[in-house]
A and B are shown apart, each in its own frame.
Chain A
């Protein structure tokens, strides 16, 4: 069975975007986009583990975006398994999406795993990178199209 899984991954990889970063602009206001984002994360089978504020002190220094959060999410079993096998990867986990307001619109972004790929050869791990990338793009697209 494993062999076929590999073949599927190889077949699918060309449709995956090659970008380093995944970014979208949503026409929703910041609080609306935040709600849809958390919904989309759950719909894709993940659990939101924490919403971290980044904007403390931002407005004080004249910066124009005062609504900035990073939403962390993951699946416990998956994250446990990978951090057991590759303890150094905890630095990149759980998964995360940054969300910040730009006037009345909202920008969301997340990183691909492209920069990690050259360091790993395990088929299972590379498959995890790929499905995380697909899921992150699906989640971002879900927020982007919401009106």
Chain B
């Protein structure tokens, strides 16, 4: 047995190396379908992410911008960073995006523009804030779909996002303003009656937006499970939980053995029970912000009887907003967290 282990290890290493080499050479289309299509659409026409196949976008987006965007993501605005993609894989994906357009990607000088930020600020308030938010924080929600109709207009991206600011150059910002994005609500500033000097002022102002995100709570600092020890037995704790749920205008929708559907009927461990409950207004609200949170709905508390007594627990919803990289979820997650805590505390004390 022992003799074979180095051989197996060798084979594993060889396969890994071969796989890496293959992936590097690869097929940007496949990488795109695996990593991006879920949000940006199979053909790049948008989803929860904004469209990537627009002529006007590809004509102003430099390879540097795209590369930095994949490295930085858009913290708190759904778009993830992709630290796991190698530089070769990123190039392959960029190649795939470029295949949607017949123009090559532009390159830009690194110089900063010296417009008048005060003028830019005034222009922004009157021409841009309606869509991009008064502080450039972007529209409510992102992209075009998931929960919204496909023909709804694209939500304006966050211009104050640290990932965006770190990726874009002054010259690319200016080119974006001068050109606009046909097929989306984003106008060219020409159609707004503004000229090149206004563009410089706007760009200089955009550079001064406050990009500070709130201090990031790291996963390591957030307990993944909310847990209470009950002073009652299993049956009584379950009863108490149901009362606490109903008392908060939630409906008990289901009560089942934890092992139900896995163990043969009658052989489930009866000392482990799941209680599902729901409040439609709350569920709808959460799903409207980010439909992906359905993965953790409806609300569920699990009861486990161990030698030490009865434990009740739930996932910690505060973990979720970072899982989904969506700051719009913070409030709902906090609410859900408090609700879980109140219910479990009341039922176990």
Contact = CB atoms under 8 A, between A and B. Distances in A.
Contacts of A109: 38, 292, 295
Contact of A23 (B38, B223, B311, B319): B38
A19 B276 CA distance: 28
A114 B83 CA distance: 14
Interface residues of B, number: 66
B311 A88 contact: yes
Contacts, number: 162
A127 interface: no
A141 B47 contact: no
Main secondary structure of the interface of A (DSSP, over half): mixed
B108 interface: no
A25 B37 contact: yes
Contacts of A92: 224-225, 315
A107 interface: yes
A103 B46 CA distance: 13
B258 to A, nearest CB: 6
Contact of B219 (A76, A102, A118): A118
A81 interface: no
A98 interface: yes
Contacts of A56: 280
Contacts of B227: 88
Interface stretch (B158-166, B283-291, B329-337): B283-291
Given A87-B306, A91-B315, A57 B283 contact: yes
B214 interface: no
A21 interface: yes
Instruction: Report the interface size class on chain A.
Output: 35 or more
Interface in A1-21: 1, 4, 7-8, 11-12, 14-15, 17-21
Interface string A69-96: 0101011100110010001111111101
A72 B274 CA distance: 13
Nearest to A22: B38
Contacts of B287: 54, 58, 63, 65, 68
B149 interface: yes
A68 B283 CA distance: 12
B313 A88 contact: yes
B262 A90 contact: no
Interface of B: 1, 5, 9, 12-13, 16, 19-20, 33-34, 37-39, 41-42, 47, 80, 83-84, 145-150, 219-220, 222-225, 227, 256, 258-263, 269, 272, 276, 280, 283-284, 287-288, 291-292, 294-295, 297-298, 300, 302, 304, 306, 311, 313-315, 319, 322-325
Given A1-B1, A11-B13, 9 more contacts: A23-B292, A49-B262, A58-B284, A61-B288, A64-B147, A68-B291, A90-B302, A105-B42, A119-B224
Among all A-B residue pairs, the 6 with the closest Cβ atoms: A49-B261, A98-B295, A118-B220, A23-B38, A57-B280, A18-B84
Interface of A: 1, 4, 7-8, 11-12, 14-15, 17-21, 23-25, 27, 47-50, 52, 54, 56-58, 61, 63-65, 68, 70, 72, 74-76, 79-80, 83, 87-94, 96, 98, 100, 102-103, 105, 107, 109-111, 114-116, 118-119, 141, 144
